[in-house]
Amino acid sequence: MSVVTAESHVRFHRLLIRPHDDDPVITVVGRPEIGEFVELPAAYGEAISLMADGMSVGATRRRIADVHDAEVDLAELVEALSELGFVASIDGTPLPDAAASTPRGHFRRLSEHHVAWLFSMPMKALWLVVVAAALLTLTVRNDLIPTYSDFFWSDYVGLTVLVNTAMMSASISVHELMHLTAARSLGAPGRIGFGTRLHNLVVQTDVTGVWGLPRRSRYRVYLAGLAWDIMVMASLILVIAHVPLADRAQAILQALVLSVLMAIPFQFQVYMRTDLYYVLREVLRARNLFEDGIAYAKYLRTRGLDALLRRPSAITDPTAGLAPHARRATRIYSVFLVIGASITLAAFALFTAPIVIGALVRAVQGIGGGSALMALDSGLFILVEGGIQVLFIVTFVRTHPHWFRRRSRATTGRRREKPLPPAERR
């Protein structure tokens, strides 16, 4: 990297600079296209704007000293921002562009004017009317309230699982597309892909770019998927109740209502990074709630082991540097995180895994014996359920490469990173 001097001129990539949601002396600076954001003192945010307008490093430092009566180390700032991929060139010398190695967002041509209408007041009013009408219908037609039996619309389990999985996959895809659409309606990029949450295979949308938006706007992105699910269920209930349908068609639609409904409680498991976890994080004003919660749980575990073994503990509380409200929220959340994750994993080990394994074994046995239809049905079940489990394993390995990579003596040490001047990276 070029040496930064007082005469240096720095050219930045397109950056987003805005005031912090809660602290007026902090500025959020980020590059949405690569998903990197930092929080800096307002003086540094102003300095970046001045340098971006063509002012030299030295002139910018003098201007900040005159206006804020403070000395700032802009050479260190430029170096740190260069490592984040914010700087395009220094004194005409181009720097490597981090965007080249960053996966491109999906539907990049989708602009605000294409989708903003989906989140307009008339559409919100329509959503309320449809949901209210569905709730009123359910009070009159109790038989339309979903039950577990709605899942089995056919005597052939494999066919039922295949069709229900296909319908649910389509619904989940649109759920995630709504997150991306909400982000695009606010000018933020997004990317859809697979991920894992404990033992669950999930489709997820990376909308890191929304950190450049005010908190109120971020709620739209986080809740868009859940709002879609509720709209789908309400619309289907109204169709089933008021449109003449064949019995099989009605049964399939009722199975879809049940499938969408079964996905909603997952969002309330905020001890994983679900949609409502992000809402909770915003409500509690705890920026890194999940990561800090895990760190605090590990701290308590280490402290407990040290006390049990009667040895001195040198570990420090990772929440000590947080704001008081964030510290309290993180400590409470960490307990909830450990309990919730433990119960979920225990239930998976005791019930879900044996059921899946047992069903796959029976399906394999069904292929070898019984009628041709039974063999076909068993094959469909193996194709769907086995495919999901294989996809989970592949996704888990891909998203947790450090768990499966052999460590060498050269890589076991922790990499030293140069910190940003009095700021914290997101």
The three-state DSSP-derived secondary structure of 339-370 is HHHHHHHHHHHHHHHHHHHHHHHHHHHHHHCC
Answer whether residue 419 shows pLDDT above 50: no
Report the distance separating Cα 311 and Cα 305, nearest Å: 9
Secondary structure (3-state) at 87: strand
pLDDT for 235 equals: 97
pLDDT band at 88 (very low <50, low <70, confident <90, very high): very high
pLDDT band at 414 (very low <50, low <70, confident <90, very high): very low
Average pLDDT over residues 351-359: 82
Range scoring the smallest mean pLDDT among 211-220, 234-243, 357-366, 381-390: 357-366
Residue with tokens 């082991």: 305
- Asked if residue 17 lies in contact with residue 92, where contact means CB atoms within 8 angstroms, the answer is no
* Residue, of 150 and 378, whose pLDDT is higher: 150
Partners of residue 93 on adjacent β-strands: 90
Average pLDDT over residues 133-154: 93
| DSSP E strand stretches across 73-182 | 87-90, 93-94
pLDDT for 1 equals: 60
Q: Is 409 exposed, middle or buried (0-12, 13-18, 19+ CB in 10 A)?
A: exposed
Please give the DSSP secondary-structure letter assigned to residue 243: S
pLDDT band at 416 (very low <50, low <70, confident <90, very high): very low
Say which residues have a Cβ less than 8 Å from residue 386's Cβ, sequence separation at least 6. Answer: 360
pLDDT for 242 equals: 94
Q: How far is CA 20 from the centre of its chain?
A: 21
Answer whether residue 381 shows pLDDT above 50: yes
Average pLDDT over residues 81-90: 93
Report the distance separating Cα 262 and Cα 376, nearest Å: 27
CA distances to 105, 195, 394, 404 from 398, in Å: 19, 9, 6, 9
Residue with tokens 């420090």: 316
Residue with tokens 């592949």: 394
Provide, for the chain, the percentages of residues in helix, strand and coil under a 3-state DSSP scheme, each rounded to the nearest 5: 60, 10, 30
pLDDT band at 422 (very low <50, low <70, confident <90, very high): very low
pLDDT for 64 equals: 92
C-alpha angle 333-334-338 in degrees, rounded to nearest 5:
115
* Residue, of 131 and 397, whose pLDDT is higher: 131
Give helix then strand counts, H and E, for the chain: 15, 9
Report the distance separating Cα 411 and Cα 398, nearest Å: 19
For the chain, state the CA radius of gyration: 26
Question: Max Cα separation, the chain?
Answer: 87
Average pLDDT over residues 411-421: 37
pLDDT for 406 equals: 58
Answer whether residue 405 shows pLDDT above 70: no
Answer whether residue 178 shows pLDDT above 50: yes
**Residue 4: CA atoms inside 13 Å, Cβ hemisphere, count?**
24
Average pLDDT over residues 44-51: 94
Range scoring the smallest mean pLDDT among 155-164, 366-375, 409-418: 409-418
Range scoring the smallest mean pLDDT among 392-396, 410-414, 420-424: 410-414
pLDDT band at 290 (very low <50, low <70, confident <90, very high): very high
pLDDT for 418 equals: 38
Mean pLDDT of the chain: 87
pLDDT for 22 equals: 85
pLDDT band at 273 (very low <50, low <70, confident <90, very high): very high
Say which residues have a Cβ less than 8 Å from residue 236's Cβ, sequence separation at least 6. Answer: 253, 256, 257
pLDDT for 370 equals: 66
pLDDT band at 409 (very low <50, low <70, confident <90, very high): very low
